[in-house]
Chain A
Amino acid sequence: MEHSSLAGRIFRGVALSLILIFFMFPIVWIFLMSFQNNDQILRIPPRILFEPTLANYEALISGQLRTAAGNLQISFMRNLFNSVVLSSAAVLLALLLGVPAAYAFARFKFRLGETIAFTLLSFRFAPPLLVLLPLSLYYQELGLNDTYFGIVWVYQLIALPLILWIVRGYFEDISPDIEHAYRLAGHSWREAFTRIAVPLAGPGIAAAGLLSFIFCWNNFVFALILASADKQPVTVGALAFVTASGIQYGQIAAAIVLSVTPTLLLALYAQRYLVEGLSLGAVKG
């Protein structure tokens, strides 16, 4: 492999560029769209060069959407805030519940253990709508409809299984002898859990938390059905851009850019953990 020819290197470079362009194109295109008005976007043929405008971002931040049919109130910033609150709270709750559960599944064999773990995972298989319709009826009766808590709770369907399975793999990778050694040195199992197991599974827990944050952030249907306007996250809020006078592509693009940016930055920051976490703890010191 070390003596590759010049032709081989050129070929590899071209192939990599093609793959990069293929995957980056939608993101770059949307980024460009967010600086154009609807006319520029819908022009045929499309142009790479255009006069950029910040109007889309202005509209989003001020909450005033000017369309041909008149001014429209939108609450994009509110939606963004909701997304942050809902996703963070959901991940926090899932970590509090999921990490100890993952530890239990990794360390102890108990009756129905595997069944329970698999059932939790199977929530990810079911089409969300199937669950949602009956759920919304119950929620109405319980008064959980259109509450932050109700949505955070239903987000556990997304976050909990993910955290449970990723973190479990990490705990399984830690030699039980390390915890045994700590206990023999006179520490209780709680101390062994908090001082040994959790720090050692740290990268895995971070990765699992990050992934479930992204999945929660991107969720659409749960909030669409269970939340009204003032509790909606950005994903649902974006529907407001489909107006009577047409679809506001520019604002949608700007909204996408704004809503993708936090998760993208987070993912970039934690890239190393993410890769490690997704390889299920294959890297262990």
Chain B
Amino acid sequence: MARLEINSVSKAFGAARPADGLSLAVEPGEIVAVFGPSGSGKTVLLRMIAGMFEPDDGDITVGGRSVVGAPPERRGIGMAFQNFALFPHMTARDNIASGLRAGGNEVASRVAAISKLLKIEHVLGHTPRELSNGQKQRTALARALIGNPDVLLLDDPLRNVDAKLRYEMRLELPNLLRRGTAAVLYVTQDYREAMAIADRIAVLIDGRLAQVATPADIYAQPASVAIARLFGDPTINLAEVSPVAEHGMLSAMVAGARMRVGAADGLASLGACWLGVRPEDLVVSSASADDAIPARILAITPMHEKAVLLLRLADGTEWLAALPPDAPQGAADDGVFVRFAPDAAMLFDRATGLRIGPSHRLKAA
């Protein structure tokens, strides 16, 4: 039972600053996903915790004790790597057992237990070369888990396995990881994986934590436009607007149509904003209305059991709408009208990119 705490950790490589004052705490038994675009510093953070290099500044503690400066083997950390990093000259069994220092019967029984859990009992005698990618990945996980580490670091472990296996593991992993009491940091580049697996998500952008919150909160209330763009497939639609208050509601001109974009909460106007609307929150119909944006369907691209429409709004902006499979879709080149509910609209400050939604005052990350 040990808490992982990262306190204002910074690291620079020349001009690059992959970690810039990072602070994050992970409770025992909690899974925190570190999510961000490539090059945002996810892997650097993991490697500083593992002791592959030391932070320039700040402290990392496990169970209240600082691990900075300690060699990797004394930090009580288990890790699974993106490229598996199995020992090619050892069998799967020896790979897994290498995670245990004690000898004797205990090793055999623990290897048996963990490999049963991960369903790799039948390949224990194989060398990594003879394993499929899925089996390699499970072997690497078994090796990381077997020592019951205080802190478990998973560096994009599902990156190199095929889609079907990745999906299976996405369902299986949270239960596996919660069996122990390790504080788990899970790095991924796939927002769906992060949402599926983690209790909380730490969004890392340019070496800084942009938001730390539960998956549902981040999706519904992203702290900035950059975060909103990272969550959701298809990506959130944006438009430049300057909302003004009208009968207690904020409204804004979007491609020639006046759209209501949320409660005014006593504000008169908001200045230059980004309006964000998720593709699944758009309603597309052939019937005209006052509060509907005229648009033309450019293409229909089915995706994840939905119909994704690429729309060109009257002012030339391209938006995407994701419709349920049974909704009428129309055809390419049709003229349509697009609407959305006021509470589906998100507003972000144009200058800072920060969310300024009137109904959801931003909580500092």
Contacts and interface: CB of A to CB of B under 8 A. Distances in A.
Do A and B touch directly, given a CB cutoff of 8 Å in the complex?
yes
Interface of A: 175-178, 180-189, 196, 199-200, 285
B98 interface: yes
B143 interface: yes
A185 B88 CA distance: 16
A199 B72 CA distance: 21
Q: From A182, A184, A186, A196, name the one whose CB has the most chain B CB atoms within 10 angstroms.
A: A184
B71 A200 contact: no
Contacts of B52: 176, 180
Contacts of A180: 50, 52, 72, 79, 81, 85
A178 B101 contact: no
24 contacts: A175-B85, A176-B52, A177-B85, A178-B85, A178-B86, A180-B72, A180-B79, A181-B81, A181-B86, A181-B143, A182-B87, A183-B51, A183-B71, A184-B72, A184-B75, A184-B78, A185-B73, A187-B98, A188-B71, A188-B73, A196-B87, A199-B89, A285-B88, A285-B129
Nearest to A180: B52
Contacts of A181: 79, 81, 85-87, 140, 143
A186 B74 CA distance: 7
B77 interface: yes
B214 interface: no
Interface string B276-292: 00000000000000000
B230 to A, nearest CB: 26
Contacts, number: 59
Q: Chain B's interface: helix, strand, loop or mixed, by majority?
A: loop
Nearest to B95: A181
Contacts of A177: 81, 83, 85
Contacts of A186: 73, 99, 101, 147
Q: From B52, B73, B79, name the one whose CB has the most chain A CB atoms within 10 angstroms.
A: B73
B79 A184 contact: yes
A184 B52 CA distance: 10
Contact of B88 (A182, A184, A187, A200): A200
Categorize the interface residue count of chain B. 20 to 34
B226 to A, nearest CB: 30
Contacts of A199: 89
A157 to B, nearest CB: 33
Q: Chain A's interface: helix, strand, loop or mixed, by majority?
A: helix
A187 B86 CA distance: 15
A100 to B, nearest CB: 18
Interface string B30-57: 0000000000000000000011100000
Contacts of A185: 73, 98-100, 143, 147
Given A196-B87, A199-B89, A184 B77 contact: yes
A178 B87 contact: yes
Given A183-B51, A189-B71, 11 more contacts: A176-B52, A177-B83, A180-B72, A180-B79, A182-B98, A183-B72, A184-B73, A184-B77, A185-B100, A187-B98, A285-B88
A187 B50 CA distance: 13
B149 to A, nearest CB: 8
A200 B129 CA distance: 13
Nearest to B101: A186
Contacts of B86: 178, 181
A196 B90 CA distance: 10
A189 B78 CA distance: 16
A185 B98 CA distance: 6
A189 B87 CA distance: 15
A7 B75 CA distance: 68
A175 B71 contact: no
A101 B145 CA distance: 34
A107 to B, nearest CB: 11
- A-B pairs, top 6 by smallest CB distance, nearest first, are A177-B85, A185-B99, A183-B72, A181-B85, A177-B81, A178-B85
B134 to A, nearest CB: 18
Contacts of B81: 177, 180-181
Contacts of A187: 73, 98
Nearest to A183: B72
A187 B97 CA distance: 12
A181 B88 CA distance: 12
Contacts of A285: 88, 128-129
A161 B128 CA distance: 33
Contacts of B77: 184
